[in-house]
A and B are shown apart, each in its own frame.
Chain A
C-alpha cells in the first residue's frame, strides 16, 4: 500500500481553500467522468482517484487527519482515539461510491466509504447495471451458427452466436447484466466480438478474398484449377490469356450474412501467375523462339 498525495491528484497546493478544491475537482471530474469516457479504463481509474482525493480534502475533518497523518498513515489509529470524544457529525456528500471504489490507503485511514456516500433506503424499483464483455472467436467459429457457454460475473450463460458475426460487433443480451434493485429489471449484457482470422481468406463484410497460384501455361492456354473455398473446394475454369492479378468472383461462396439464413457474400479469387524456373536448354530455346515470334 502506498501513500497517495491527494493534493497532487487534484493539482492543488496544501493551502488550497474549499473553493479551490471544489473547482479543481469539478474540472478534473468533467475530464475523466466515466459517462463522458465510455470503455476507457484509464479515465475510470483517474476518476476514482480524483473522487477519493475530493472525498478527503473537501471534508474538513478528513482533511485535517490526512494533513496530520497522511504520510504516516499507519499511526492514524491514534488520531481516531484522540478524536473519539469530539467526533462531530458526518460531512454531507453527494457521491455515490462504495468501498471498492476507494484505495487501500483510503480504507486504512478512513475505514472505507463514508456511510452517507452510500445509497440506501430505496423504495423504487431500478434497473440493474449493464455489463460488458469481450468474446474472442476464430473466423471459422463464426462461419456457422453455434452455441457457446460463457461465464460472466460467475454466471453461466448459454449463448447462440449467429453465423456472420463481425469483428467489433456488439450483441446486447437483455436481462443478463446486473441484478435490478428492489425487484427492478436486470441490466443487459453487451458482448463485443473479437474475431481472429488465421485462415488464408481475408474478410470484408460478407465477402471473402483469396489468391491462387496459376502456372504460366494454364494462364496462357486456359484450363481448370481446383481452389479452396471457405468450406470446401471448387473447380474454376481458367480463360486463355488470363492476366496476372486478374480477379474472378464466385457468387455465394463468401461469408454468411448475419441473421439472414441461407444468404452468403461472394468469394473473390485473384490469380497470381507463377513463372517456370530452372529452364532446360530445350525450354529456353522454345521461349527464345516465342520471343522472336512476338517481336516480328
Chain B
C-alpha cells in the first residue's frame, strides 16, 4: 500500500470545516471507503472527486447523507440511461 496516496481524514475535516463524524457516517452508508492506518483514518486520493461532490451537495444544497445517497443513486441511473440511449441511437441509425 502506497501511503502517499492516502489523505488523513483529519486534514479533510480541517480543510472543509467538517466533523470527523461526517466522514464516518458516509463510510457507514457505503458512500466512501475509509482505510485505517494505526489509529487514524484515511481516504484514498482516487475518491477525492467523489467526496468533493458529496461535500458540495451537502454544504451548498443542505442535503443530508440519506438524501445524498438517493441523489448519487439517481445520478448513476441517469448515467446508465445516457449510455443506453447512446447505444439505442447507434442502433436506430441502422434504420434511418
Q: B61, A33: Cβ atoms under 8 Å?
A: yes
Contacts of B45 in A (CB 8 A): 125, 127, 184-185
Q: A36, B90: Cβ atoms under 8 Å?
A: no
Contacts of A26 in B (CB 8 A): 61-62
Cβ distance A118 to chain B, nearest Cβ, rounded Å: 15
Chain B 41-55 residues near chain A, CB threshold 8 A: 45, 48-49, 53
Contacts of A266 in B (CB 8 A): none
A209 to B11, CA, bound (A): 57
Q: B94, A94: Cβ atoms under 8 Å?
A: no
The residue of chain B having its C-beta at the shortest distance from the C-beta of A39 within the complex is B82
Contacts of A33 in B (CB 8 A): 56-57, 60-61
The residue of chain A having its C-beta at the shortest distance from the C-beta of B92 within the complex is A204
Count how many chain B residues have C-beta atoms less than 8 Å from C-beta atoms of the other chain: 28
The answer to whether the Cβ of B73 comes within 8 Å of any Cβ in the partner chain is no
Q: A94, B15: Cβ atoms under 8 Å?
A: no
Other-chain contact of B56, A35, A130, A197, A205 (Cβ < 8 Å): A35
The answer to whether the Cβ of A126 comes within 8 Å of any Cβ in the partner chain is yes
Q: A36, B71: Cβ atoms under 8 Å?
A: yes
Q: B90, A94: Cβ atoms under 8 Å?
A: no
Q: A168, B89: Cβ atoms under 8 Å?
A: yes
Q: A29, B11: Cβ atoms under 8 Å?
A: no
Contacts of A62 in B (CB 8 A): none
Q: A168, B86: Cβ atoms under 8 Å?
A: yes
Q: A122, B87: Cβ atoms under 8 Å?
A: no
A125 to B87, CA, bound (A): 39
A295 to B41, CA, bound (A): 89
The answer to whether the Cβ of B7 comes within 8 Å of any Cβ in the partner chain is yes
The residue of chain B having its C-beta at the shortest distance from the C-beta of A197 within the complex is B93
Report B's interface with A, CB cutoff 8 A. 7, 11-12, 14-15, 45, 48-49, 53, 56-57, 59-63, 71, 75, 78-79, 83, 86-87, 89-91, 93-94
Report A's interface with B, CB cutoff 8 A. 26, 29-30, 33, 35-36, 38, 94-95, 122, 124-127, 130, 166-169, 184-185, 187, 197, 202-205, 209
